Each structure stands twice: as C-alpha cells, then as structure tokens.
Structure 1
Amino acid sequence: MGVLVFIFFIQIAYVTLSTIRLIVMMKGNAKLASLVSFVEIFIYMLGLATVLDNIDAWYNLVTYCLGFALGVYTGSIIEEKLAMGYVTVQVITRKEDSDMPQQLRNAGFGVTSWVGEGLSGERLVLMVLTKRRRQKALVEKVKEIDSQAFVVSSEPKTFIGGFWLRRVQ
C-alpha cells in the first residue's frame, strides 16, 4: 500500500511541476524554468524507477496513470491561481457616447479607446492591458456598465512604452 501512495503522489508532484515549468518558460523566465525542471526530472525519475521496480503489479501502473491525470488537474488549478503575466482585453460596445473608458480608468485600468465601425454602425472600441489576476474584475466591471459589450482577451508576450511601461518597471 505504501508503494501505491508513493507512486500516486510522486506523479502528482511531477506533472504539477511540469505544468508550472512550462508556464514559467512561456512567460519568458528561463532561469526559473531551468531550476524547476531540475526538481521536476528528479521527481519523475523517482516515480518511474519505483513503478519499474514494481511492474509486476498492474495496479502500480494504473496508480501511476491516475497520479498523472490528477497532476494535470492540479497543475491547471495552480496555474489559474498564480495568474502570471498580463492580458489585453478588447471591449466593443454599441454605446458610442459611453463613459466606459473613464469608469474603467477610475477603477485603475489603463484604457485606450477609439471609434470603429461595426456591421450596423459605429462602435466604441477599448483596449485594456491588465494583470491576469485582475481580468475577472475587469470583465465584471464591463458587464456592469454594458451587459451587451463584446469582450475578447489575449496574452501579450511583449509590450513597449505607454502607460504600462512605467507601472511594470
């Protein structure tokens, strides 16, 4: 029973670290990703060696697979909680005379806005750059102001200049 528990939890730890390493690497922090990868592969080798030493029991392999699956789930939850990096949120509203840009600025968001043209007329377009952990608050504020607004978000890898450059540095 002790081997099963060890295999299960070592696999959860390995896959969770693997997920975190990948995210850290994608965010451009190669040094931290390298450090995490050292621990990750050490844990992986411990788990694999244990399974191979006990390969005669099919339930050890099943436990290894279950630990992997739960590790994926755990890693995704941790990634969501970390909410590393920034998002660019584009908001399109039908209210051309809307004070949404000012309301969002008052809530601490940096907003650039312009008038665009949609299928049935002019639209107010807003671009907002914010930390990922504030994305939910931003979307809730937009919905509060205009429940019909169209919202799209993406993750920028690089940005130079502007309002955010001073705040990020």
Structure 2
Amino acid sequence: MLESGLIMLLIIFSVNIVYVSLLTVRMIFTLKGQKYIAASVGVFEITAYTLGLGLVLDNLENVQNLVAYALGFGLGVISGMKVEEKLAVGYITVNVISSDPSIPFTETLREKGYGVTSWYAYGMEGDRLAIQVLTPRKYELMLYEVIKDIDPKAFIVAYEPRQIHGGFWVKKVRGSRLKREEEKIQSE
C-alpha cells in the first residue's frame, strides 16, 4: 500500500512538472506570435494538466497528493524556464554605451557577424559611443562576453523587439557568421 502511494505521488509530481514546463513554453511561443506551435504545445499541456489535476481531485483526502502537485508546479516553473533558455526563441536588441568613443567597437562587432548601428553621444562624463546590436537570443550571452572584452566599462541594456522589418538581418547574415564565431569560441 505504501509503495502504491509513493508511486501516485511521483506520478502527480512528474505530471505537474511536465504540465507547467509546457505551459511556460506555450506562453513563450504565444508571446512570440508563433500561434501554431503554441496551439500544438497547448494540446499536450492541457492533457497533462487534466491528468494531474484529476489524480489529485480523485484522492483529495490524501494531503500529500496536493503537496506533490504544488511541488511539481514549482519545479515545473524552473524546468520550463530552463527549456525556454535552451530554445532561445527570437531576437534580442542590446544597447551599449561605450566609455571611450575611440574604441573600434562597431568594426569589431561587425567582423564577428553582428548587425550594428552606432552614433556618437554625450554623457555625464563626456563623449560616448552609443551602439545598438541585434542578435538571435541564442547568441545573447556570447554577445555580452564580446562587449565586455572590448570595453569592460560599457553600459549595457537589452530588450526583446516585438517586430523586425528590413535592415541587416533581413538582407544578410541571419546568424551564419555568428554561428561560425560561436563554433570558434567553443573550440578554444
């Protein structure tokens, strides 16, 4: 009897991890406007949700089932976030303010395959170089490292654009040079 109770707890716990992970992934695809992928994930999400909740509601007198459900939900949030980090859907725009406008920032980033727009700016402590970089999210962390290597004092702000039209990404790279740069870094 104890063994079947533990198996039930593990099933409820596992099903809820799957459900919440799928919920997180579906939400990301929904926010990115990928409706067909979001709908497909939603089919599996609601199946897992119904199964897990049904198991808890059928055995509501066992408080440990509710605890397993709640713990599975919490771990599912973390799991879903990890899956989303690995998927890295979409693009990121990174604004950089260089502490020294004479640093060859723009050229260095372009050589590495990034789309870069730059302009001179004036900050509290004098002249600056303002840079805007667009990159696939999967290269986001690599971009931060490149920026820090070029200028450790650079001010960095990142956000996700909702729509992209025209420019460098539509005409050219779409990550091919960035992919080679990533492979080069990984081989070192």
Q: Which runs of 4+ in 1 moved over 4 A?
A: none
Residue by residue over 1:51-76, the C-alpha shift from the partner in whole angstroms, topping out at 9 and shown as x without a partner, is 11111111011011011011001001
- 1:21-40 aligned within 5 A: 21-40=26-45
Unpaired runs of at least 5, structure 1: none
Q: Partner residue of 2:152?
A: 147
Displacement of 1:158 in angstroms is 0.4
Q: Partner residue of 1:58?
A: 63
Q: How many equivalent residue pairs?
A: 168
Quote the Cα distance in structure 1 between the aligned partners of 2:147 and 2:53: 49
- 1:2-21 aligned within 5 A: 2-21=7-26
In percent, how many aligned pairs have the same letter?
45
- 2:163 maps to 1:158: yes
- 1:126-137 aligned within 5 A: 126-137=131-142
Normalising by structure 2, we get a TM-score of 0.87
Displacement of 1:94 in angstroms is 2.2
Displacement of 1:50 in angstroms is 0.6
Displacement of 1:40 in angstroms is 0.6
Q: Secondary structure, in 3 states, of the residue corresponding to 1:95?
A: coil
Quote the Cα distance in structure 2 between the aligned partners of 1:64 and 1:160: 44
Normalising by structure 1, we get a TM-score of 0.96
- 1:81-100 aligned within 5 A: 81-100=86-105
Residue by residue over 1:85-121, the C-alpha shift from the partner in whole angstroms, topping out at 9 and shown as x without a partner, is 1000011012112211101111111111100111121
Q: Which amino acid aligns with 1:102?
A: E
Give the alignment's Cα RMSD to 1 decimal.
0.9
